[in-house]
């Protein structure tokens, strides 16, 4: 009888992701098709393995002022407490209050792609988010402080050699404000994350990066808590426009 092995299972998860991304890289010729397929690989991973309170989708994010973000490859958002998600003909619109994390999915990481991801992340973080007091049996709790939105980049390969040298550090340091990247996975080489206390990036080359990144993301989401109570009426006022 074959014995179960947790290390084999976790390694297999990474190997599956890396193999799928490699097939996309080598088999698809059209850049748009290649990009769409890469997004699908990462979305499938997150949709399968994140706790069910979270969902992942390619989407635009909108705030109650009617401002929209750029299209984001991977948006991780709340589905348990969020009152509405608009979906029409393959287009998904998510209220800003529901968002936990946003990622750009690319074939390879380089300075241009890091800058592009920073721009996309900033387009979400600058949106207005509401937060209402929370009623309970004895009265109301104060409005929940807004949870920081995680931002990152997901790729198969790196154009840098080594993948996690000074060029990566320089690119990440180019935007430490609204476009800051907190997490990133380069499936063929490793992953990185921002140590907020030290205000410095940690890199984790080698190993099984896709699985390690997934666990790190879940850990970060656990500490994010629950999204704030959305002011639905702030959105409803657009009905009169």
For 32-51, write each residue's pLDDT tens digit: 556 567 788 899 989 998 99
Tokens for 151, please give them.
């931002």
Backbone angles phi, psi at 49, to 5 degrees: -110, -15
178 is an active site residue: no
Residue 134 has pLDDT above 90, yes or no: no
Catalytic residue among 39, 63, 97, 104: 104
For 149-169, write each residue's pLDDT tens digit: 999 999 989 999 999 999 999
106 is an active site residue: yes
Domain positions in the chain are 8-128+143-228
Catalytic residue among 39, 78, 106, 157: 106
Task: Please state the pTM of the whole predicted model.
Answer: 0.90
For 166-196, write each residue's pLDDT tens digit: 999 999 999 999 999 999 999 999 999 999 8
73 is an active site residue: yes
Catalytic residue among 39, 63, 73, 78: 73
């Amino acid at each position: 009888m074959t014995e179960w092995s947790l290390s084999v299972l976790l390694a297999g998860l990474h190997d599956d992701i890396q193999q799928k991304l490699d097939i996309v890289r080598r088999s698809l010729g059209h850049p748009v098709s290649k990009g769409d397929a890469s997004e699908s690989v990462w979305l499938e991973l997150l949709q399968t393995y994140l706790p069910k309170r979270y969902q992942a989708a390619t989407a635009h994010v909108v705030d109650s002022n009617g401002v929209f973000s750029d299209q984001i490859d991977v948006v991780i958002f709340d589905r348990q407490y969020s009152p509405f998600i608009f979906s029409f003909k393959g287009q998904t619109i998510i209220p800003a209050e529901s968002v936990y994390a946003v990622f750009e999915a690319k074939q390879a990481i380089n300075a241009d792609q890091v800058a592009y991801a920073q721009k996309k992340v900033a387009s979400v973080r600058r949106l207005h988010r509401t937060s209402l007091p929370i009623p309970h049996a004895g009265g109301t709790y104060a409005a929940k402080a807004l949870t920081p939105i995680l931002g990152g980049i997901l790729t198969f390969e790196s154009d840098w050699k080594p993948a996690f040298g000074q060029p990566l550090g320089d690119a990440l340091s180019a935007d430490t404000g609204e476009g800051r990247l907190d997490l990133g996975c380069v499936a063929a080489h490793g992953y990185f994350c921002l140590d907020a206390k030290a205000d410095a990036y940690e890199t984790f080359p080698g190993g099984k990066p896709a699985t390690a990144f997934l666990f790190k993301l879940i850990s970060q989401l656990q500490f994010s808590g629950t999204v704030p109570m959305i002011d639905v009426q702030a959105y409803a006022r657009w009905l009169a426009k």
